[in-house]
Amino acid sequence: MTFAPETSTTLLGRIASGDGVGFAEFERRYAPMILALGRLRRLNDRECAELVQEVLLVFFRKGDRFRFDPARGKFRTFLGKVIRDCATDILRRRTPSALPPEAAEELPDADDSPDVAADRALLALMRDDALEQMLESLRKRVTPETYRIFEHYTLKQHSPDEPLDGENVGRNRIYKTRQRCRAILREEARKMCDNDPDLRFGLE
């Protein structure tokens, strides 16, 4: 059976159709990202947990009325805006005594503003998520031995002259394995990354 990684668009389509399993998968994948961005915006632990729930509710409440059109922009940009708007609402609800001391500090330079930093962080987090799914798909599509060779010599970057579990694999086999696995990863990247080429890790 072929492993089919979920793209953000197909996952949102499942949510729109009322698929509870799809929403659970959405929460599993994106809740850690939302939490990390909440911390980046200097929300406290309670507020970060609140942020996760509020962002998820934006998608859940719209239910079958929600439609994301990838032709109009990147999902990363859309998700970032939802997170930013919810975080802003939480900050506005703070009482003055709840503000952290650093809130009174000078604003950072434009290039290091919360929005720029959050976008960079979200890109990094979504790259990690996409790579995890692509590697899982690769693992399903090749033999365990092939994946083990690719993981050892390409992902972990061991020397081709180093034996794998006491066995000399050979440079030619390592090269062919690397080429085959990279071709599969390029294919999975095209599926996974939708209209956001920044997530493709230079595999093209």
- Checking if the pLDDT of 156 tops 60, the result is yes
Res. 111 pLDDT band, cuts 50 70 90: very low
- Residue carrying structure tokens 């942020």: 51
Residue 2 lies in a domain: no
The pTM of the full predicted model, rounded to 2 decimals, is: 0.69
Counted domains in the chain: 1
Query: Rounded to whole angstroms, how far apart are CA atoms 45 and 37?
Result: 12
Is residue 42 in a domain?
yes
- Angle, CA of 63, 15 and 197, to the nearest 5°: 120
41/116: higher pLDDT: 41
Phi and psi torsions of 113, nearest 5° = -65, 160
E strand or H helix at 83: helix 75-92
Residue 162 reports pLDDT greater than 90: yes
Q: Which of 27-31, 90-94, 100-104, 171-175 has the highest mean pLDDT?
A: 171-175
Q: Is residue 29 part of a domain?
A: yes
* Average pLDDT rounded to a whole number, residues 19-25: 75
pLDDT > 90? residue 86: yes
Does 130 fall in a domain? Answer: yes
Task: Compute and round to an integer the Cα radius of gyration of the chain.
Answer: 21
40: closest CA among 120, 130, 104?
A: 120
Domain encompassing residue 155: 8-199
Per-residue model confidence as pLDDT tens digits over 46-58? 999 999 999 988 8
Residue 18 burial (CB count, 10 A): 10
In a domain, 1, yes or no: no
Sorting pLDDT into bands at 50, 70 and 90, what band is 110? very low
Q: Does any domain span residue 204?
A: no
Q: Is residue 3 part of a domain?
A: no
